[in-house]
Amino acid sequence: MMNKTQHMKKKRKKKKKTWDLGVWKKVNLANPTILLELLSPLVTFGYHPPSLKTANGVVLDKPGKASYDSPASFRVIVLLKTVSKILERIMAVRLSAVARSKGLLHPNQCGSLPGLSSSDACLPLMHEVKTLQRPRLEVSTLFLDIKAGFDNVNASTLRARLLASHMPSYMVDSVSSFLSQRTCTLVFQGSPNISSPVSVGTPQGSPISPLLFLLYVAPLHMSIPRGLMVSYVDDFSITVSSSTYRGNIRRLQTLFSTLATKGRDIGVSFSVPKTELIHWRTPSQRTPPSNAPIELEGHLFRPSQVVRWLGYWFTPSFNTAHHYRHRLSLAQAIFSFVKRLSSPGAGVRPYLCHRIANGLLLPILTYGADLLTLNYAALRGMNSFWHRVQRWTTNNLFFYSHLHPSTRGLPPPHCLLLQV
């Protein structure tokens, strides 16, 4: 018994105490200069301490996979120390501003950059398609996905590119120090808890990792006559136009070959099975839809009638009904789970229900409203669903259907969409 007690005490001593985000917030409120004095020398000399390079990698399964026998069916999310994330965030803000000023980022790159979201990637795609359709051209788009993007970032290749652009030396040293000599311990059921060195890649979960990946894949972008290439982190879209859809297929095959060659030069490849093709049409077009497929690396892809890209559901004629049907179904599924927290007359208080409705259900329901026009049928379905949410937020008045929206504190959907 004594031996077991001594063993438990030794085990407790071995555990290292780390400060969480709440502690650092209190430290910053008490004395804002402490964090600056701690991190300023590290930023100045471009040094990332070895103690901040050790991390735990949580292995999560990717949803919707047919089989989980392959490592590709899982993703590793790295849990970093809080003070390391603060330092990385500081460097990300500085590096983003300098990279834009020196032209290291392509104008058509979106995601993980200040002021650019998924709608900023979809908007130029829609605009380019409709512009190319005006002179009666046929337009097609190929959607690609980079395979294991963050895991393929090579520190030496990225350092060489930053040095060639005359980036400040402390920023180059800081990026190199951050990416080198890292170790990671994989965490999953039955894991041996062994720390392993990581020689290639940037940790997924770090504030600076998406920006480093954007800098790494920026050379893949190229200008396309009568077309457009847009990317959102590791999701690429290539749009081309010609007099026929067959001509578009030939152009897309040539562009994909060029893109794949550029990717091999920096150690990046595309996940070909995830590729999707769509042939765009105008709402007034009466000719039969084209079924012209495209062949890439031995895989044959037929044109899709619905493509999901960055959370938006696109149809060949940009009919928005399909997108909002999916948003409504997702919101209803979440609501059926959330409403169990508060049954009529019991459970969560009404003001908390109100916060759940505004903070969780509303963003899911109205996602894409800033880009895609809502039709009457979709709005009617959203109104019906939102009335149920409004009654639920009152908690004890769930069965009263004729309450004014001001009583529930939630405006109707059409008013919310006008604000968007």
Please name the residues in contact with 357: beta carbons below 8 A apart, sequence gap of 6 or more.
389, 390, 392, 393, 410
Q: Is the pLDDT of residue 162 over 50?
A: yes
Cut 0.75: pTM above it: yes
Instruction: Give the pLDDT of residue 419.
Output: 54
Question: Residue 397 to residues 169, 370, 406: CA-CA distances in angstroms?
Answer: 64, 33, 14
Q: How confident is the model at residue 67 (pLDDT cuts 50, 70, 90)?
A: confident
Q: Which two tokens stand for residue 136?
A: 């009666």
309 vs 278: CA distance, rounded Å = 12
Task: For CA atoms 311, 327, 60, 22, give the dihedral sign.
Answer: positive
Task: Give buried/exposed letters for 47-84 (b at 16+ CB in 10 A, else e).
Answer: ebeeebbebbbeeeeeeeeeeeeeeeeebbebebbebb
For a pLDDT cut of 70, what percent of the chain falls above it?
87
Q: Is the pLDDT of residue 340 over 90?
A: no
Highest mean pLDDT among 97-106, 187-196, 199-208: 97-106
260 vs 264: CA distance, rounded Å = 6
Strands 312-314 and 307-309: antiparallel
Identify the H or E element spanning 237. strand 235-242
Q: How confident is the model at residue 412 (pLDDT cuts 50, 70, 90)?
A: low
How crowded is the C-beta side of 348, counted as CA atoms within 13 Å?
A: 16
Digit-coded pLDDT (tens) for 361-387: 989 998 998 888 888 888 888 888 988
321 vs 386: CA distance, rounded Å = 18
Q: Is the pLDDT of residue 158 over 90?
A: yes
Place of tokens 């964090």: 35
Instruction: Give the pLDDT of residue 1.
Output: 44
Lowest mean pLDDT among 102-111, 194-203, 318-327: 194-203
Digit-coded pLDDT (tens) for 235-276: 999 999 999 999 999 999 999 999 999 999 999 999 999 999
Place of tokens 């180059």: 172
Question: Residue 87 to residues 38, 80, 176, 358: CA-CA distances in angstroms?
Answer: 10, 11, 14, 33
Instruction: Give the pLDDT of residue 328.
Output: 94
Q: Is the pLDDT of residue 5 over 50?
A: no
Please report, as a single letter, which amino acid is at residue 241. Answer: S
In the chain, the N- to C-terminal Cα span, in Å, equals: 66
188, 85 Cβ separation under 8 angstroms: no
Average pLDDT of the chain to the nearest whole number: 84
Lowest mean pLDDT among 21-30, 237-246, 306-315, 328-337: 21-30
Task: For CA atoms 275, 113, 80, 195, give the dihedral sign.
Answer: positive
